[in-house]
Structure 1
Amino acid sequence: MSTNSPQIEYTQILRGVAKLLTQLYSKGLQINPDNALVLASCLSAASRCARADVCLGAACSVPAALLLALPLLAPSAATLDHLVHLILTYRKIFSKLKNKNNSVRNTHEFEHRQLLKAYTSDIISCLYQENFLSNRQEGYVFSKLNMQTVTMLNKVIPNADSKLSLRNHLAFAPYTYLQIEGSQAETTDNSMWFKYAIDKQFPSLCKLLIMTTPQLIS
């Protein structure tokens, strides 16, 4: 492509490349959903798309559904922090686009903003509010679970809503239970877990939680 090509052509090409990358890593995750290396590679690909979006000031392709869902379930706090960094990048992109377009409605961008807003709700519902199932209609990842499935989950897993919280999530256990003894850990709430497991150790996750749940630092 000529260096004199108009900016709109770069944006269109970037959108096409981002879409192909999204499809590619989505298929990879469908084949290897439990493979941490595949998940890390997919996050890196999505991050590259986001950084290109920042440079051009254009929102092209938000992460695929599976890439949003797996880090919430995976036993890796670093992976979740990486994904949250990606979400924060897209929040920055959409904020700039909104100012740039003087609030002119763009269907493509509006749908992506709504998706990221819903996914942010998933993160807070899982990690802090402990209601990702009962509040699933406000989110994205778990919104399609029907009542029968939710009832079955609650029967098989007592108090299932709390299992992905800061105090219960396997991903944060190495950062929490080593600092708080067992008997004390059972009575510690998510605000205390935030202090021990998130603050200063996972900067992106810390930033998002403080932005959306300011009472954590009150």
Structure 2
Amino acid sequence: MLIMALMKPLEWWSGWADFFGVSAVILGGILVLVTLLGWTFSWKAGKLKDEALKRYQVEAKQSIAEANKATSIANQQAAAANLELARLQGKMVPRRLTKEQQERLASGVSSLAPQLASVWYGAGDKESENFSWDIASALNAAGWRVFSPASTAALAQGGKPFGSIPRLQTGVIVGSNKDEPSMRAADTFVRELSALGFDTRKAANIGNGSEPVVVVSVQARPDGAQGELKLNAVGR
């Protein structure tokens, strides 16, 4: 009887032990399952986050590329507009000789001093008048015997059929008498002023006077750039 009495508590504890053991196994399984599910969801969330980040990076790169392309196009358009503006300005800038250009011209013709020269410009043409004074100043600095610039009038003939008479000339036309020193001085002057970027040419006819003189005739401004603007345009 005593043994039976002792066995019952043992059976009772054994039953509870089995219950707790099974419960522990079940709880352990649940814990493992929850852990696996948590890791799975965490991995999935991380993957979705990485995909979203990659998608954002791709879209950002595309946006940056499009913005850079738009900026490049805008810069090209601005550069083209600046070139066109410079071209238009170059066609309108009055001819003038800077101090440096006057010094270069004087240096180029000083070996021909004391050559006699006269400088003329079209009456009423202020641009030609200012340019003729720049030229005369350079020749005077070179030691030439130069007269003060004077005006002259070249009038187109009226009552003639269209195209039957030539248009008035432009640029700087340089003539001389037929003596050798004057002809050499005229050639040198044409070369030096042309080198500064100004349209300059020899006169078609040579004078028959006996006095050794060079005649510089400053006509209307030619179309297009002159001076440094012309030289820069040729150099590009």
**Normalised by the size of structure 2, how large is the TM-score?**
0.18
Which structure would you say has the larger RCO, counting Cα contacts within 8 Å and 6 or more residues apart? 2
Q: Which has the larger radius of gyration?
A: 2
**Normalised by the size of structure 1, how large is the TM-score?**
0.19
More helix by share: 1
More strand by share: 2
